[in-house]
Amino acid sequence: MIMVSLESCPAFFLASAPFLKSVCGVILMALIDADLREMLKKPLGKIIPFEEALARAGRGRIIAVGDEVVYNMLKAGSRPFVAVFDFSTLRKPVAKDIKEKIEENYPDYRKIAKPAGEVSVEMFEVAQELIKRGGALFVDGEEDLFALPFALLAEKEIVLYGQPGLGCVFVEKGSFRKEEYWKIIEKLGLRFPHAVK
């Protein structure tokens, strides 16, 4: 399991792409260009109806990314082990009942600021922590890309996130090749030691 922290950052491989943000020469955040954004729009798993996703997940630990997925799970009586939300859907605020339902079930959620179109070291650090202990994360910005670090770091957990107009993306161990997604991260300049892949 990966442990990402500011102390470990100097061990990372560094790159010099102009869309990288760094502190003291250590890359902490990468801006996604148009081509990479298109790559990340591709589902990380199989697209299936929400009801089928719940049935397939059974009693497994579910990481739900996105307000609609989290809300629909709670409404169905299934509380996600990890819930990630930003109180918006398709860039518009969620309905009052959705926000209240999520806050009722996760009153002590963690908060993180993540500008749109950026992938950061902190995202992986937070994802790892939540996978270990469970809980909820409110993203001040854009929560969509959080499916990526969770999908890469999850072991036995199932990751669910919405695919607008198509259904729910069901990501489980063995349903995708993690090395392909690590390559995407490397293209962003955030390269991790080989041992974590």
What would the pLDDT profile of 169-191 be if each residue is shown by its tens digit?
999 987 777 887 787 777 777 75
Q: What is the sign, positive or negative, of the torsion defined by CA atoms of 126, 127, 131, 134?
A: positive
Checking if the pLDDT of 39 tops 90, the result is no
Band (pLDDT 50/70/90 cuts) for residue 88 is very high
How much is the average pLDDT of 44-72?
A: 94
Residue 118 CB contacts under 8 Å (≥ 6 apart), including other chains:
29, 30, 31, 32, 145
Measured in whole angstroms, the distance separating CA 22 from the mean position of its chain's CA atoms is 22
CA distance 113 to 93: 17
CA distance 70 to 62: 10
How much is the average pLDDT of 60-87?
A: 96
Band (pLDDT 50/70/90 cuts) for residue 24 is very low
Give tens-digit pLDDT for 111-133.
998 877 788 888 998 999 999 99
Q: Which range is least confidently modeled, 75-79, 125-129, 136-140, 179-183?
A: 179-183
Which has the higher per-residue pLDDT, 174 or 159?
159
CA distance 130 to 14: 27
Exposed/middle/buried for residue 73 (C-beta within 10 Å: 0-12, 13-18, 19+): buried
> Which residue, chain included where needed, has tokens 């349903």?
175
How much is the average pLDDT of 95-105?
A: 97
Q: Average pLDDT over the chain, rounded to whole?
A: 79
The answer to whether 114 and 140 are in contact (CB under 8 A) is yes
How much is the average pLDDT of 55-84?
A: 95
CA distance 67 to 89: 7
- Would you state the structure tokens that stand for residue 55, as one six-digit string? 């049935």
